[in-house]
A and B are shown apart, each in its own frame.
Chain A
Amino acid sequence: MKNSAIMGKLVCAGLALAMSGVVAGGAKADTAAVDALAERAAAAIGRLHSNAQRALVTVAQDEAFADYFHTHDASERHRHKSRIDEVSLATQDKFHVEEMCLIDPQGAEISRIVGDEIAHDLATDEADAPFFAPGFAADHRQVYTSPIYLSPDADKWVVAYVTPVLVDGDKRSILHYEHAFTAYGDILQRLAANDAGEIMIVADTGHVIFDSRREIPTERVGDLEDRDDYFDGFDFAGLDLAGFRQAIGQDATRGQGRITGQDVDRDAAFRVVGPWTLIGWQDL
Chain B
Amino acid sequence: MATATPVARWARAGLRLKVAAMLFTCALVSLGIGTLVATYFGERALRAEVADKATRTLNAEMLDLERWLDRTMYDLTTLAETNVMQDVLIADGIGEIARSLAAMRTRYREFAAFVVTDETGAVIAAEGVDLSPGQDLDIDHLDQSLAGLPVVGGFDAHPGLADDSFLFSVPIRAEYDQSTVIGVLSGTIGMDRLREQLARVQIGDEAQGAERALLLRDGEGRLLYRTGSDTADEIVQRLLAAVEGAAPGEALVRDQGPDLVTSAQFPAESPFAHLELQMLSGVTEEAAFGSIAQLKRTLTLTTVFLGLTMLVFGWIASRGLTDPITAMSAAMNRLSTGARDESRTPEVAELIAPSILARKDEIGLLARSFDGLITQLAQARARLIEQSELEIAKRNMRLDAALNNMSQGLCMYGPKGELVVHNRRFEEIYGLPSGALKPGMKIAQILEVMNRAGHVTEAQDADFISLLTRRDSDRETLTHLASTGDGRSVSVSCVPMPAGGWVATFEDVTQRKRDEARIEHMAPHDALTDLPNRLLFTRRIEETLAVAARGRQHAVLYLDLDHFKAVNDLHGHPAGDELLRHVGARLRGCLRPSGVVARLGGDEFAIIESDIASGEEARKLAERIIEEITRPFEIAGHQVAIGTSIGIALYPDDGGDAQTLVKAADMALYRAKADGRNGFRFFEQEMDSSMQQRRMLERDLRLALQNDEFEVHYQPIVDMATSRVSCFEALLRWTHPERGAVSPAEFIPLAEEIGLISEIGAWVLQRACDAAAGWPAHVRIAVNLSPAQFRSQQLLDQVAQALSQAGLEPQRLELEITESVLLRQSELVLSILKQLRGMGVRVSMDDFGTGYSSLGYLRSFPFDKIKIDRSFIRDIEKSGDALSIVRAITGLGTSLGMTTTAEGVETFEQLNQLRSEGCNEVQGFYYSPAVRLDAVPALLEGIGAAHYGNMSMPSSSRPKRIPA
Which A-chain residue is minimally distant from B87 (CB atoms)? A47
Chain A minimum-CB-distance residue to B96:
A51
**Complex CA distance for A244 and B119, rounded to whole angstroms:** 30
In the complex, A122 has a CB within 8 A of chain B:
no
Instruction: Check A187–B176 contact: CB distance below 8 A.
Output: no
Residue pair A48, B177 in contact (C-beta under 8 Å): no
Candidates A48, A94, A183, A194; contact of B120 at CB < 8 Å: A194
Does B90 count as interface, using CB distance less than 8 angstroms?
A: yes
Most buried by A among B93, B96, B177: B93
| A residues 138-190 in Cβ contact with B at 8 Å | 183, 187, 190
0/1 string, A35-78, CB within 8 A of B gives 1:
01001101110111001000100000000000000000000000
Q: Are B177 and A39 in contact (CB under 8 A)?
A: yes
Q: How far is the CA of A183 from the CA of B94 in the complex (A)?
A: 10
A187 cross-chain contacts in B, Cβ below 8 A: 89-91, 93
A47 to B176 CA separation, bound complex (whole angstroms): 11
Q: How far is the CA of A44 from the CA of B175 in the complex (A)?
A: 11
User: Are A51 and B182 touching (Cβ within 8 A)?
Assistant: no
In this assembly, does A96 line the interface, its C-beta being within 8 Å of a C-beta of chain B?
yes
Is B86 at the interface (CB under 8 A from chain A)?
A: yes
**B180 engages A47 (CB within 8 Å):** no
Q: Do A47 and B120 touch (CB < 8 A)?
A: no
Q: Is B273 an interface residue (CB 8 A)?
A: no
Q: Which of A40, A51, A95, A190 contacts B180 (CB 8 A)?
A: A40
Task: Report whether B87 and A40 are in contact in the complex, using a CB–CB cutoff of 8 Å.
Answer: no
Select one of B89, B93, B177 contacting A183, CB under 8 A: B93
Residues on B with C-beta less than 8 A from A94 are 94-95
Binary contact readout A13-49 vs B (1 if CB under 8 angstroms, 0 otherwise): 0000000000000000000000010011011101110
- Closest-by-CB residue of A relative to B175 is A43
CA distance A95 to B99 in the complex (A): 13
Task: Indicate whether B174 reaches chain A with its CB closer than 8 angstroms.
Answer: yes
Which residues of chain B are within 8 angstroms of A190 by Cβ–Cβ distance?
A: 91
CB pair B89 A44 closer than 8 Å? yes
The residue in chain A whose Cβ has the minimal distance to the Cβ of B118 is A194
Q: Which residues of A contact B175 (CB under 8 A)?
A: 43
Q: A44 with B94: in contact, given A39-B176, A39-B177, A194-B120 (CB under 8 Å)?
A: no
State how many angstroms separate the Cβ of A187 from the closest Cβ of chain B: 5
- A183, B119: Cα distance in complex, Å: 20
B120 CB contacts on chain A under 8 angstroms: 194
The smallest C-beta distance from B98 to any residue of chain A, in angstroms, reads 12
Contacts of B94 in A (CB 8 A): 51, 55, 94-96
A residues near B118, Cβ cutoff 8 Å = 194
Contact residue among B91, B95, B96, B176 (Cβ-Cβ distance under 8 Å from A43) = B176
- Return the chain A residue nearest B89 by Cβ: A44
User: Cα distance A44–B91 when bound, in Å?
Assistant: 9
Contact assessment for A47 and B95 in the assembled complex, using a CB-CB cutoff below 8 Å: no
Chain A positions within 8 Å of B95 at CB level: 94
Contact, CB under 8 Å: B90 / A51: yes
Tell me which residues across on chain A come within 8 A of B87, comparing CB atoms. 47, 51
CA distance A12 to B817 in the complex (A): 169
Whether A43 contacts B119 in the complex (CB less than 8 A), given A51-B90, A95-B94, comes out as no
A48 to B96, CA, bound (A): 12
Within 8 A of A (CB), among B100-122: 118-120
| Residue ID in chain B nearest A52 by CB atoms | B94
Which chain A residues border B93 with CB–CB below 8 Å?
48, 51, 96, 183, 187
CA–CA, A51 and B84, complex, Å: 10
Residue of B nearest to A93 (CB): B95
Check B180–A36 contact: CB distance below 8 A: yes
Separation of A20 and B411 alpha carbons in the complex (Å): 164
CA distance A190 to B92 in the complex (A): 13
Give A190 to B119 CA distance when docked, in angstroms. 11
Residues of A within 8 A of B176 (CB): 39, 42-43, 46
Least CB distance from B192 to A in Å reads: 35
Residue from the list B89, B91, B96 in contact with A40, Cβ < 8 A: B89
Contacts of B90 in A (CB 8 A): 44, 47-48, 51, 187
Give the docked Cα–Cα distance between A94 and B94 (Å): 6
Provide the bound-state CA to CA distance between A190 and B88, in Å: 12
> Chain A residues with Cβ under 8 A from B174's Cβ?
39-40, 43
Report yes or no: B86 in contact with A47, Cβ–Cβ below 8 A.
Answer: yes
Q: CB-CB < 8 A to A55: which residues of B? A: 94
Interface string of A75-104 (1 = CB under 8 A from B): 000000000000000000011100000000
State A275–B958 Cα separation when bound (angstroms).
171
Q: 1/0 contact trace for B68-83 toward A, CB 8 Å?
A: 0000000000000000
Do A47 and B89 touch (CB < 8 A)? yes
A51: chain B residues within 8 A (beta carbon): 87, 90, 93-94, 96
Give Cα A51 to B94, complex, Å: 8
Measured in the bound complex, the distance between the Cα atoms of B182 and A46 in whole Å is 15
Max chain B Cβ within 10 angstroms of own Cβ: one of A47, A51, A183: A47
Query: In angstroms, how far is the closest chain A Cβ from the Cβ of B121?
Result: 11
What residues of chain B lie closer than 8 Å to A191, measured between beta carbons?
89
Give the shortest distance, in Å, between A44 (CB) and chain B (any CB). 4
> Which residues from chain A contact B182 at a C-beta distance below 8 Å?
40
What is the CB-to-nearest-CB distance from B959 to chain A, in angstroms, rounded to a whole number? 151
Per-position 1/0 for B176-220, Cβ under 8 A of A: 110010100000000000000000000000000000000000000
> Least Cβ distance of B480 to chain A in Å?
151
Q: How many angstroms between the C-alpha atoms of A46 and B86 in the bound complex? A: 11
Roughly how many angstroms separate A155 CA and B429 CA in the complex, as a whole number? 181
Contacting A at CB under 8 A, from B124-176, are 174-176
CA distance A276 to B176 in the complex (A): 18
Within 8 A of A (CB), among B402-430: none
User: A48 — nearest CB in chain B belongs to which residue?
Assistant: B90
A194 and B121 CA atoms in complex are apart in Å by 11
Interface residue from A36, A43, A95 paired with B89 (Cβ < 8 Å): A43
Q: For B86, list chain A residues within 8 Å (CB).
A: 43, 47
Bitwise interface map of B from 416 to 451 toward A, beta carbon under 8 Å scored 1, else 0? 000000000000000000000000000000000000
Q: From residue A99, how far is it (CB to closest CB) to chain B in Å?
A: 16
B residues less than 8 Å from A95 (CB atoms): 94
Query: In the complex, A94→B93 CA distance in Å?
Result: 10
CA of A70 to CA of B94, assembled, Å: 32
Give the chain B neighbours of A183 by CB distance below 8 A. 93
How many Å lie between the Cα of A46 and that of B96 in the bound state?
15
**Complex-state Cα separation, A94 to B177, whole angstroms:** 28
How far is A47 from B94 in the complex, measured between Cα atoms in Å?
11
Residue of B nearest to A195 (CB): B119
Assembly CA distance A84 to B174 (angstroms): 36
The CA-CA distance from A48 to B93 in the complex, in Å, is: 8
What is the distance, in angstroms, from B181's C-beta to the closest C-beta of chain A? 11
Q: Least Cβ distance of A40 to chain B in Å?
A: 7
Q: How far apart are the CA atoms of A170 and B89 in the complex, in Å?
A: 37
Name the residue on A nearest B179 (C-beta). A36
How far apart are the CA atoms of A48 and B90 in the complex, in Å? Answer: 7
Give the Cβ gap from A8 to chain B, nearest Cβ, in Å. Answer: 38
Q: How far is the CA of A111 from the CA of B158 in the complex (A)?
A: 51
| Complex Cα gap A47–B118 (Å) | 15
**Nearest B residue to A194, CB-CB:** B120
Shortest CB distance B137–A (Å): 15
Among B87, B89, B90, B176, find the residue whose CB has the most chain A CB atoms closer than 10 A: B90
CB-CB under 8 A from A42, the residues of chain B are 176
Q: How far is the CB of B642 from chain A (nearest CB, A)?
A: 163
Residues of A within 8 A of B91 (CB): 187, 190
A94 nearest CB neighbor, chain B only? B94
Q: A39-B177, A40-B174, A94-B94 are in contact. Are A194 and B119 (CB under 8 A)?
A: yes
Looking across the interface, which residue of chain A has its beta carbon closest to that of B174?
Answer: A43
Q: How far is the CB of A218 from chain B (nearest CB, A)?
A: 18
What would be 6 A-B contacts, judged by CB atoms less than 8 Å apart?
A43-B89, A44-B90, A51-B87, A51-B90, A183-B93, A194-B119
B residues in contact (CB < 8 Å) with A: 86-87, 89-91, 93-96, 118-120, 174-177, 180, 182
By Cβ-Cβ distance, the 5 closest A-B pairs, closest first, are: A44-B89, A43-B176, A187-B90, A95-B94, A47-B90
Known: A43-B174, A55-B94, A183-B93. 4 other contacts (CB 8 A): A40-B182, A43-B175, A51-B93, A187-B90
